[in-house]
Structure 1
Amino acid sequence: MPSAHTAVVAGTPVDTRHWIGGHRVASAETFTDASPVTGAPLARLSRGTATEVDAAVTAAADAFPAWAATSRAERARLLHAIADGVERRLEELAAVETLDNGSLLRSHRRGVMPRVAHNFRFFADHPLSLGRDDLDTRGHTHHITWDPAGPCALITPWNAPLMLASWKVAPALAAGNTVVLKPAEWSPLTASLLADIAAAAGLPAGVLNVVQGYGNEAGAALAAHPGIRRVSFTGSVPTARSIATAAAAHLTPVSLELGGVSPLLVFADADPELAVRLAVEQYDNAGQVCLAATRLLVEESVAEDFLRRFTTRVAGLRLGDPRDEGTDIGPLIHPRQHGRVDGYVRRALAAGARAVVGGGPAGLPGGLHYRPTLLTEVAQDAEIVQEEVFGPVLTLQTFRTEEEAVRLANGTRYGLAATVATGDRERAERVSARLVAGTVWVNCFFVRDLRAPFGGSRLSGIGREGGDWSFDFFCDVKNTVTAPGGWRGHG
């Protein structure tokens, strides 16, 4: 039966309290989480402050010694059990997250939630093979190990809440750390369900803690807490600056993934249908994707043909309820985000840009859908080119030479990703080598392998996630140097 601390969302009971030290903990204050799909409130959740953060960090610190001493194999078993729980509750998780953040239900079912389980499985197993061959220096042996760092603060965004949380939670736990997870206040519900799943899997109390609330309250207190040994954050540059400043007081290492304004370079020798398909993919999740190639850079000689094919394909996209299997673009997550996106477009149009596709709100029920938009006649220094809009808004610029294409691509303060469409292998290698980006995709987009590093350059962030890189961050890497001989007794 639902209680005062339970919200029923898409038929699934969701506890609205924090999860601290293996128990549900309520706060005196609450905050409202509303659905971008229906506009109706989904839940009133406990609103964390420094008090709840301190309790969660204390619980994580208390649980750390035993969890750090737990064998890698046992930690892997428990993380696989969490993955099993995610798979058993996949339909519930998909339905809840769709109502909570407006992303497509079909994407949650087919890709996002299965990837959550995969993330837990991958990071569960990775430490079992983590290691380097010993080094020898004049007979001295260097033995490298990865030691758990301690309680970790994980602050996650709203655009893919559970998947992006799992990218952080899974490696942190697998490394032997304990965790305090602070989900985004606009999409906190599946983090609460993850706490239930982890408890049912047998994860010891205090190993995973979840504190809900606002970034400038719970998030700020968490980043500044002296008991935290690592801070991992995905989100905006202004928030990252605040987090880095807070963490600096205790010299707490930070990992920051901050999005960007990535380019898609389309050369004249590219497969035209492939190039257009890659461009239209950038409207995925209503453009609320940090990796999105929002800047289309198209060789001048094929720009007219590209634009014709692009507008035809975009015309076939369907906006609507994300729970509908036929919907391609759902709503933006929040009225504030909708206003932010529309503000960027309005200012660009006032400055002389031309909307060849879209250019404003869609006018659908709920009021949060935005028409997929393509703006041309934009200068390289224009706000719409230089700043992350985080909505279904792309710009198109043309170039004549490879040199110009690279210059335009690198001409922002960001460097998260880049996509190159070309039929020339040598050009692909040459251009990719010159692009400032953490990831470059050639004739493809969003192909990920958790063994590979992920992160950005410039304002797109600090550090890398994935494979050994995750464990380099979440661990204290130790080198033990042993002299030859001189042993007495047994051994």
Structure 2
Amino acid sequence: MAEVAGVTVDTGHWIGGERVGSAAAFTDLSPIDEQPLAEVARGGPVEVDAAVAAASRAFPAWARTSREDRARALHAIADGVDEHVEELARVETADNGALIRSHRRGVMPRVAHNFRFFADWLLRLGHDDFETRGHRNHVDWDPAGVCALITPWNAPLMLATWKVAPALAAGNTVVLKPAEWSPLTASLLAGIAAEAGLPDGVLNVVQGTGAEAGAALVAHPDVRRISFTGSVPTARSISAAAAPNLTPLSLELGGKSPLLVFADADLDLAVDLAVEQYDNAGQVCLAATRLLVDASIAEEFTERFLDRAGRLVQGDPREEGTDIGPQIHRRHFERVDGFVRRALGDGARALLGGGPNTDLGGLYYRPTLVAEAPEGSEILTEEVFGPVLTLQTFETEEQAVAMANGTRFGLAATLATGDPERAARVTGRLAAGTVWVNCFFVRDLRAPFGGSRQSGVGREGGDWSFDFYCDVKNTVMAPWEK
């Protein structure tokens, strides 16, 4: 047990409806001050085997549970989340350093929405029967089995429930492995689900490192689906581990997304969109970190951007007035700083920030804008995942599209333009799973979500989630004799 931000958090695993300890533990640090929050049970193959076995035992009954009863169970979990928004917000802010105001107003209510959406979508899921030479075709979505869900640290509970909710709605059982840098709200979710009456073994949580718990989970022969959000190198390792079992994968990976600002754009809107990319201290996979600006307006855009970004308040994320908090962990902080130092060493120039916030110390990195980076350099092509944006200019639409597509990633893209014909033309040529035009981060769970190129494999959301978490079956019936 640990007391975190005034909330009691059980730091054991949740397996088969019980709290389970481990012989080993790991220390969970708060990014706010790098002080210990909790000693967390450190799972490995033994705990993974137990969790998969519990999920396997629970699967037949849960799979046979009617859609209506599964939907009611998910709504009950959502009710529990709504009742505990404040506690969840405080714990998650302490654990991953994101803004308390965002957790209270947006993130935790969205967690509840994730469960409600997939509960309701389940009840409308279906496909009209169709005939083939007098034979009737009928499509079913059969639960697949035990799902291994591995989630990142940057939005721990929201991203976990993007996976947990559809997997449970589909009739599967789950083993959730949260990131070791932010594991605490997954433990709270297990308690909320139990209070809501979710049967034992349907949701299990195993904490630990990727090398120990994660590796054992994705290689387990009794796992029928793997959904992972994280880095490309880890995805490669997961794919290799899953290959002998032919376990289907859904992978949402990194990004190096562009924000294209054309000369006909609303400049105030474009600047607002650009500054918004510092959200969550830049620790957002979808962030449009490459600002590609028409050369004819670049000077005015930059001047307005620097004025607007310079007014951001960096500090303690527990304060309502803070705009930017810390990086998640010392190791990640040093990685972000390394990208910037190497870029500056290669001749780039920092127009804003460019290093740690020494006034605050710790893990606080100044919002940074890098210009004049050499073409093809890593700061322009590799994911930094911190509050670091780059500025480049283009002369033509053709050049803008080429620059936008000039990385191995293809997760998202954002456009600012006043010309709807240009918007249609450019979006059709961009390599991206999601494109926003004159907006950012509008996310509807009915829409497909995922990445192109090395930003991922597969799509989730709406029917796409059920297509992944189910074995889709077509039954063909000959006409019955009268």
Shorter chain as normaliser: what TM range? Answer: over 0.9
- Partners of 2:144 and 2:225 within 8 A in 1: yes
Q: Secondary structure at the match of 1:484?
A: coil
* Count of matched residue pairs: 482
The answer for the alignment partner of 1:3 in structure 2 is none
The answer for the alignment partner of 1:428 in structure 2 is 423
Map Cα deviations across residues 278-326 of structure 1 (whole Å, 9 max, x no partner).
0000000000000000000000000000000000001100100000111
- Partners of 2:22 and 2:43 within 8 A in 1: yes
Q: Secondary structure at the match of 1:131?
A: coil
The reply on whether 1:81 has 2:79 as its aligned counterpart is: no
The answer for the alignment partner of 1:354 in structure 2 is 349
Q: TM-score, normalised by structure 2?
A: 0.99
Cα distance in structure 1, aligned partners of 2:244 and 2:19? 31
Cα distance in structure 2, aligned partners of 1:363 and 1:19? 40
- How is 1:32-47 mapped onto 2 (pairs within 5 angstroms)? 32-47=27-42
- How is 1:319-338 mapped onto 2 (pairs within 5 angstroms)? 319-338=314-333
Task: Write the letter of the residue equivalent to 2:218.
Answer: A
- Partners of 2:257 and 2:286 within 8 A in 1: yes
Cα distance in structure 2, aligned partners of 1:191 and 1:203? 15
Task: Write the letter of the residue equivalent to 1:322.
Answer: P
Map Cα deviations across residues 355-395 of structure 1 (whole Å, 9 max, x no partner).
00110000144510100000110133110011000000000
- Partners of 2:177 and 2:208 within 8 A in 1: yes
The answer for the alignment partner of 2:334 in structure 1 is 339
2:292 to 275, 285, 297: 297
- Partners of 1:38 and 1:366 within 8 A in 2: no
- How is 1:157-172 mapped onto 2 (pairs within 5 angstroms)? 157-172=152-167
- How is 1:85-96 mapped onto 2 (pairs within 5 angstroms)? 85-96=80-91
Task: Write the letter of the residue equivalent to 1:411.
Answer: G
2:436 to 433, 438, 441: 441
- How is 1:23-422 mapped onto 2 (pairs within 5 angstroms)? 23-422=18-417
- Partners of 1:37 and 1:366 within 8 A in 2: no
Map Cα deviations across residues 188-246 of structure 1 (whole Å, 9 max, x no partner).
00000000000000000000000000011100000000000000000000100001110
- Partners of 2:327 and 2:333 within 8 A in 1: yes
Cα distance in structure 2, aligned partners of 1:175 and 1:423? 42
Report the aligned-residue RMSD: 0.6
Cα distance in structure 1, aligned partners of 2:438 and 2:420? 10
Q: Which runs of 5+ in 2 are unaligned?
A: none
Q: TM-score, normalised by structure 1?
A: 0.98
Task: Write the letter of the residue equivalent to 2:467.
Answer: D
Shift of 1:12: 0.5
Task: Write the letter of the residue equivalent to 2:418.
Answer: G
Shift of 1:484: 1.1
Cα distance in structure 2, aligned partners of 1:409 and 1:375? 17
Shift of 1:485: 2.2
- Partners of 1:161 and 1:190 within 8 A in 2: yes
Task: Write the letter of the residue equivalent to 1:37.
Answer: I
Map Cα deviations across residues 23-64 of structure 1 (whole Å, 9 max, x no partner).
000000000001001221000011000000000000000000
Cα distance in structure 2, aligned partners of 1:169 and 1:364? 40
Cα distance in structure 1, aligned partners of 2:195 and 2:216? 29
Cα distance in structure 2, aligned partners of 1:14 and 1:468? 35
Cα distance in structure 1, aligned partners of 2:102 and 2:146? 33
Map Cα deviations across residues 420-468 of structure 1 (whole Å, 9 max, x no partner).
0000000000000000000000000000110000000000000011100
Cα distance in structure 2, aligned partners of 1:64 and 1:38? 42
Report the identity percentage: 75
Cα distance in structure 2, aligned partners of 1:425 and 1:298? 18
Task: Write the letter of the residue equivalent to 2:287.
Answer: A
Q: Which runs of 5+ in 1 are unaligned?
A: 1-5
Q: Secondary structure at the match of 2:392?
A: strand
Cα distance in structure 2, aligned partners of 1:485 and 1:218? 52
Cα distance in structure 2, aligned partners of 1:474 and 1:379? 43
- Partners of 1:26 and 1:46 within 8 A in 2: yes
The answer for the alignment partner of 2:479 in structure 1 is 484
2:9 to 7, 14, 24: 14
Q: Secondary structure at the match of 1:256?
A: strand
Task: Write the letter of the residue equivalent to 2:92.
Answer: E
2:454 to 445, 459, 467: 459
Map Cα deviations across residues 236-287 of structure 1 (whole Å, 9 max, x no partner).
0010000111011100000000021000000000000000000000000000
Map Cα deviations across residues 114-133 of structure 1 (whole Å, 9 max, x no partner).
00000000011111110111
Q: Secondary structure at the match of 1:229?
A: strand
Cα distance in structure 2, aligned partners of 1:116 and 1:372? 28
- Partners of 2:33 and 2:362 within 8 A in 1: no
Cα distance in structure 1, aligned partners of 2:122 and 2:34? 43
- Which aligned runs of 4 or more in structure 1 are off by greater than 6 angstroms? none
Cα distance in structure 1, aligned partners of 2:373 and 2:129? 55
Task: Write the letter of the residue equivalent to 2:324.
Answer: I
